[in-house]
Structure 1
Amino acid sequence: MKETFRSIEQSNPSYGIRNLHFVTIKSPQLGTRGDICIYIPENCPMDVPVVILLHGVYGSAWSWPLSSGVHEQVDQAIKEGIIKPLILVMPSDGLWGDGSGYVKHQEQDFEKWIVEDVIAVARQLAPDQISQASKFFIAGLSMGGYGAMRIGARHPDVFTSFAGLSSITSIDEFAHFVEEDLDSYQMDTELSLIDSLIANKERLPYFRFDCGKDDLLLAYNQKLHSKLLEANIPHDYEEFEGGHSWDYWKNNIMKTILFFNLRF
């Protein structure tokens, strides 16, 4: 397979966490280095599905595995036969400001970082497991939920399904979390989730999102759900106990993994 990136630095598995790999690449879309954590289960088969998980503001590539233990939850579910084998790919958002939003900025394209570079490096690092037949899924929390749902809606040719947990639903809501000028996020089109979903309505896969009943973003998620119903866009929406915290995300991420598993 032709190498895609000028440089790739990989962790030594002898010193790492079992089945969890840490990778740094020089990204064409970022113009800088980008970090990715990848979980590959033991005895991973060919044509395995891939789930990309996007973190929220202030986080990085290590956030999902080391704040929620998602790789351990998935590993156990695979061993128990609850889900089919899958690879988790957990990239940084590009490490811009408090959070890049996974959108295009003036000089960096954080959406393409995910859709092009992250997928390409996953294929390059796991050529014996990820094939052209492998299906890709994307999910995230908070800012990552915004990124996953927007990117999933805009690239239905790439992603079989997508999901959000406690998702930001529009650029204005970033003001709750970041100190950067919101104008920095507005270099592209379809910036609200409802606009992205309606614009791609005819091609959307079935998707889901959920939110905690004590989450500061609950009203926004409820509004998105209502607008999707008005637009006759099929989806799953659920609310569970909890707020905008890792306790909620670590306790509910497997609901999304199980949802994806039905589509593997």
Structure 2
Amino acid sequence: MSRPMGVLPAGVSIADVYSPANRARVAVWTWKPAWPGPHPLLVLLHGVNDAAGHNWFLKARVHDIASRILDVSPTDQPVIIAPSDTGILHGSAWADWSDGSAKAETWLMQELLSWADVTFPLDGRRWITGLSMGGYAALTLALRHPMAFSSATAMSGYFRPDQLYVFVDDDSRRRIWAGEAAELEHDPTHLVLDANRRAGLQIAFGCGTADSVIESNRAFARHLHRHHIAHLYEETQGGHDWSYWSGQLPRHLKFHVAGTWA
């Protein structure tokens, strides 16, 4: 079911999608290109403080970027979905919490992708991009679910699950992952070492040089280089804000299409 929210840009709508796992309706911002398709699917994941996907459209205007840079090849224009991480919690890590209070991973990887498959004319290509917490989750979920996505990119992400703890309260820390073994299964630095998990997956990430998470990005880039794992990494001027993320979105979209920043 879609619902209006003021005057939305052409092609943009908001769907209230029921999540059985969370027993709640969850808001999903969507954009469908004018060309009838079929299209690739681009999933956009928000960070800790957004709690919804609206800023991808209202601040970054991702639909305009997708239309502008991909207009020479309408077959590459993606359907875009930007969900909330269940709309229940801030700082969910896009994970199924150990205490059962939130199931953001189940919502995204099972329920939402299935909904998208039957709602839009899709061609089978799936891409995922996230910022901050969503950047961590984009790479982590792509590795936890091999072959679900052909490419995964992160902006201003962090790459160890314990780094989320900077952004959430003590109570949430105890409820997300129950112990070190569970953290390891949500640690992209560990998951990426498994060749079967990263088979067919293209990886790219970037960070602003004034961002507090820059060292996490540099460490992950060194980790991938040390283990001879193909990836693209780029540092540019910028901070942990929408000015940086909006400026980088065209490069991430181009990477999904062509496997390169150029």
Q: TM-score, normalised to structure 2's length?
A: 0.88
Deviations 1:17-58 (A, max 9, x none): 210010012102222221111110102312x11110101012
Does the 8 Å contact 1:44/1:85 carry over to 2?
Answer: no
Unaligned runs of 5+ in 2: none
Instruction: Name 1:191's counterpart in structure 2.
Output: 186
Is residue 62 of structure 2 the alignment partner of residue 61 of structure 1? no
Does the 8 Å contact 2:146/2:196 carry over to 1?
Answer: no
Instruction: Name 1:253's counterpart in structure 2.
Output: 249
Whole-Å Cα distance in 2 between the matches of residues 58 and 33 of structure 1?
20
Matches within 5 A, 1:84-233: 84-105=76-97, 106-107=99-100, 108-126=102-120, 129-130=121-122, 133-179=123-169, 180-187=171-178, 188=182, 189-198=184-193, 200-204=194-198, 205-233=201-229
Whole-Å Cα distance in 2 between the matches of residues 70 and 104 of structure 1?
28
Does the 8 Å contact 1:201/1:233 carry over to 2?
Answer: no
| Residue type of the alignment partner of 1:224 | F
Does the 8 Å contact 2:37/2:75 carry over to 1?
Answer: no
Identity %: 24
Pair 1:227–1:28, CA change in 2 (3 A):
same
Whole-Å Cα distance in 2 between the matches of residues 186 and 102 of structure 1?
12
| Residue type of the alignment partner of 1:114 | L
Does the 8 Å contact 2:27/2:87 carry over to 1?
Answer: no
Whole-Å Cα distance in 1 between the matches of residues 14 and 247 of structure 2?
24
Q: TM-score, normalised to structure 1's length?
A: 0.88
| Residue type of the alignment partner of 2:206 | D
Whole-Å Cα distance in 2 between the matches of residues 41 and 69 of structure 1?
14
Count the aligned residue pairs: 249
Deviations 1:64-91 (A, max 9, x none): 1112111111122233549822111111
Whole-Å Cα distance in 2 between the matches of residues 16 and 231 of structure 1?
45
CA RMSD of aligned residues (A): 2.0
Whole-Å Cα distance in 1 between the matches of residues 61 and 49 of structure 2?
18
**Structure 1 residue 124, shift from structure 2 partner:** 2.4
Runs of 4+ in 1 over 6 A off after TM superposition: none
Whole-Å Cα distance in 2 between the matches of residues 83 and 76 of structure 1?
13
**Structure 1 residue 12, shift from structure 2 partner:** 5.0
**Residue of 234, 239, 244 corresponding to 1:238:** 234
Partner secondary structure for residue 29 of structure 2 = strand
Deviations 1:81-119 (A, max 9, x none): 498221111111113432211111121321121111111
Instruction: Name 1:4's counterpart in structure 2.
Output: none
